[in-house]
Structure 1
Amino acid sequence: MANLSWSGSSTTNTIPLSAQRVEADVVRYVNKVDTDSGWLLVGSDDFPRSQWKSLFKYCKVMLIGSKGSRTYFKVLEGESKGRILYLSDANADEYLGKKAPKQQPIELIVTYGRLDPSWLSKSRNKRFQQQLANGVLGGINFEVSMNTSWNGTFYPIPSGTYSILLPDFPHTKDYTNQYKAEYPRLSHHQVWFPIAYGNNSRYVHVGNVSEGCTTVLSLSSWSSIHEMLVSHRSADGNGVGILTVKGKPERNV
């Protein structure tokens, strides 16, 4: 990234034999994303377009410079942390801004409820055995499934407290796009939040099927839930908050 038109810091020498570091206004956040997926696709000089990365809303970046009508920046958090990526100058002006996430964790409380042996998924036109639970997040109340798959591999997460991590990458559209048949206004559905449990393969996400995840069944609430989660940060900067699971599932194997 040589020969950029500006950079984020410089020195000035107003006093002989001294130097003073001057920090420019270079910190930005992803303030706008694709509403459908919930992600912002950004360019890379090092990879073909098929391997370009996507950033979640409120992802923190540091502007580096402008060259060839492109604005380059360094990603400061998430899976792409440390990468030098770019947007066109016009898109940088549109999608990057100064609205920052709240520097405090948010708590999602889930309380186990009943086991429904014949829960109907309208979107899939299929019945599932759902271990249901009640979720509360910042005043939003909604229904979740804590497990749908009972093949011996997946099970409801035990009661306890777990970190909810930053979104990792856009999850396959086919997993959740089908729910628009039931709720056409479903948005941000490819954003999944990993739960720090085991190998971190469980998520807070929207849908009708849970493989030990905290799956939000209330489709119309997902947009607000997504915004509430992604707009907060934990103290270590690696997550958005905590998941507190209360009670016991009716079925756990």
Structure 2
Amino acid sequence: MGDIGVKYTRRADDTGWLRVTLNGSGQAAYLCEYTRVQLLRETGGRQYFTIADGNSEHVGKEASLTTANAATYLSDVGPMGPAIVQVSPFGAPIIENSPFKGPLKQQWATVSVAGVHALVSLNSVWDESFTPIPRGKHMIMAPDQSHANINTGPYRAKTPGMRCTDVWFPIQLEGMSGNSSRYIHPGHVSEGCVTVHELTQWTAVYDYLISSRIAGPDGRFVGFLIVSA
């Protein structure tokens, strides 16, 4: 039996986010799937709750949904255990002709998650500002905010079933604290991230990561990213 009054969010549409209303200000906030909330009260046709975990700036704030939307988008089912993501680089960087971005010098790797294997790029910008993610055991964080400022429309348009492309997973590099400004995300350009280049596999990678969490009260970490030599 779950904790009394604890629910977990679900996405409202294929962006991957659930829009809630912050109490007091009336401003909108957007929560990723499997964010834990603590129910407070139901009044005036609205369900009020505290945003109880995650990496968004809204953790600890009170928010609400209409009672109908709360019944639809708040679930008793929480996340499973930590994700394990294996990344195996191969070969030297080579030029590929992206149908979306043109010629790019890519450092290729394969990523393996829960039986899914996908081609990823670890870097495609070589102006000395970015480098491929180093070997090690890093931590994957829960999504922080929408990355809709990066246009992924062309990817979705040409990839049936692709969704939640605005939901990126920050990486905390081994030996560091917090977001290291690297992410697991879909696309063909990588600035030192783990960029899922094989777009048809993004949704499966997303579904696995978003439904995973390292046990703990703050829900800040999804799992582990193991990068081999």
Of residues 85, 92, 99, the one that matches 2:77 is: 99
2:2 corresponds to 1:26: no
Contact 1:115 1:129 in 2 (8 A): no
SS of 1:154's equivalent in the other structure is coil
Task: Calculate the aligned-residue CA RMSD, in Å.
Answer: 1.8
Partner secondary structure for residue 34 of structure 2 = coil
Match of 1:245 in 2: 227
What do the CA deviations read for 1:39-95 (whole angstroms, capped 9, x no partner)? 11111133354xx21111111101101122111100111122211011111100110
Match of 2:67 in 1: 89
Matching residue of 1:200: 180
**By how many angstroms is 1:130 displaced?**
0.5
**TM-score, normalised with respect to structure 1:** 0.82
Matches within 5 A, 1:141-160: 141-160=117-136
Matched with 1:216 is 196
The structural deviation recorded for 1:155 is 0.5
Distance, in Å, in 2 between the alignment partners of 1:173 and 1:203 is: 15
| 73 and 96 in structure 1: CA distance in 2 versus 1, 3 angstrom threshold | same
- Asked if the contact 2:12–2:73 (Cα under 8 Å) also holds between the matched residues in 1, the reply is no
Aligned residues: 220
What's the counterpart of residue 137 of structure 1?
113
TM-score by length of 2: 0.90
Instruction: Supply the distance in 1 between the matched residues of 2:210 and 2:149 (Cα, whole angstroms).
Output: 19
Map 1:182-193 to 2 at 5 A: 182-193=158-169
Q: Separation in 2 of the partners of 1:86 and 1:62?
A: 11
1:164 deviates by: 0.2
Contact 2:97–2:103 under 8 Å retained in 1: yes
Give the % identical residues: 35
Moved more, 218-227 or 142-151: 218-227
Q: Assess if the C-alpha contact under 8 Å between 1:35 and 1:187 holds in 2.
A: no
Match of 1:3 in 2: none
What is the rounded CA distance, in whole Å, between the counterparts of 2:64 and 2:75 in structure 1? 14
- Aligned residue for 1:59? 35
Which of 12, 23, 28 is matched with 1:45 structurally?
A: 23
Any gaps of 5 or more consecutive residues in structure 1? 1-22, 248-253
Per-residue deviation, 1:24: 8.3
- The residue type paired with residue 45 of structure 1 is N
Q: Residue 92 of structure 1 aligns to a residue in which SS?
A: helix
> Do residues 108 (structure 1) and 85 (structure 2) align?
yes
Query: Which protein is bigger by CA-based radius of gyration?
Result: 1
Q: Cα distance, 1:128 vs. partner?
A: 0.5
- Between the aligned partners of 2:33 and 2:23, the Cα distance in structure 1 is 22
- Cα distance in 2 for partners of 1:83, 1:72 equals 11
Measured against aligned partners, the alpha-carbon deviations of 1:205-237 in whole angstroms (never above 9, x if no partner) come to: 111111000000111111111111111111343
* CA shift digits 1:109-163 (9 cap, x unpaired): 0001124532122233x11100000110011000100001111111001100000
Return the offset for 1:200.
1.9
Cα 1:24–1:188 change in 2 (3 A) is: closer
